[in-house]
Amino acid sequence: MASAPDRSGEGRATGRRGVERRCEAVRAGDLVGACVDTLAFGAGGTEKAGCVWNRIAGDSGRRHTRGLYVEEVEGSDPVLHVYLDSSPLIQDFQTDHGLYEQRLRWSGFPVSRVVFQLSRKVGTPKADRAHAAAPSAAPAPPLPPLTAADAALVEETCAGLPDTVAQQARSAMEACLRRARAPRPKGRG
């Protein structure tokens, strides 16, 4: 196939049957995006929602989105739940929810509404190293000793085990039985 630039800078290509076609430069990202969109067209609700959401959400939306869930509603378009990692960002997105619903509709994924929620994975605070290194204020009470029946049970259970495993199993069983017999601290269920 021979191509020669024309006056506009676009190439011309001669097809199989001598028909002249115009060739336009296409960015690789646009080409891959079109392929992904084509594949997502037949995908299920959540997969398609993910592809469309990543296209319309913008950099900030993509960066802070932790998950999507499509709630199917009988007799209506689905509801899209978007899980974000920032409460202030949720407020910003909720302010513009109509804009996102419209963008989703234009992109081929109509929804009845978009609900923005805080991801459950976000609310747990990270352990503070200084606090984690400090000993707890009240030491744990010592565990009660094993009863004779518990000791016999441990020995009987570990008797047939190889020596390499028997000591570890014995130690684990003793600790488990001693913890089970220990009184529970007040305030815990």
The DSSP-derived string for 73-96 is -TTSPPEEEEEES-HHHHHHHHHT
Let me know whether 114 and 147 are in one domain: no
**Regarding predicted confidence, which is higher, 32 or 175?**
175
Let me know whether 32 and 114 are in one domain: yes
Give tens-digit pLDDT for 143-168. Answer: 888 889 989 988 888 888 888 888 88
pLDDT value, residue 12: 55
Residue 144 sits at φ, ψ, to 5 deg, of -70, 155
131: left (phi over 0), alpha (psi -120 to 50) or beta: alpha
Question: Do the domain assignments include residue 95?
Answer: yes
Alpha carbon distance 168, 156 (integer Å): 15
pLDDT value, residue 18: 61
Question: Do the domain assignments include residue 113?
Answer: yes
Let me know whether 99 and 160 are in one domain: no
- Torsion 155-156-158-161 (CA) sign: positive
pLDDT value, residue 113: 92
Which residue intervals of the chain are DSSP H helices?
28-41, 45-56, 58-64, 87-95, 97-106, 129-133, 148-158, 163-181
Residue showing tokens 């990692």: 85
Let me know whether 38 and 106 are in one domain: yes
Let me know whether 111 and 52 are in one domain: yes
* Domain end position, chosen among 81, 101, 118: 118
Question: Do the domain assignments include residue 11?
Answer: no
Let me know whether 168 and 107 are in one domain: no
pTM of structure: 0.45
Let me know whether 114 and 32 are in one domain: yes
Give tens-digit pLDDT for 105-149. Answer: 998 889 999 999 998 876 544 455 555 555 555 667 788 888 899
Let me know whether 168 and 108 are in one domain: no
Residue 48 sits at φ, ψ, to 5 deg, of -65, -40
Q: Which domain holds residue 108?
A: 28-118
For 3, which DSSP code? Answer: E
Question: Do the domain assignments include residue 102?
Answer: yes
Give how many domains the chain has, as a whole number.
2
Let me know whether 37 and 108 are in one domain: yes
Question: Do the domain assignments include residue 75?
Answer: yes
Question: Do the domain assignments include residue 17?
Answer: no
Alpha carbon distance 114, 120 (integer Å): 18
Question: Do the domain assignments include residue 4?
Answer: no
Question: Do the domain assignments include residue 134?
Answer: no
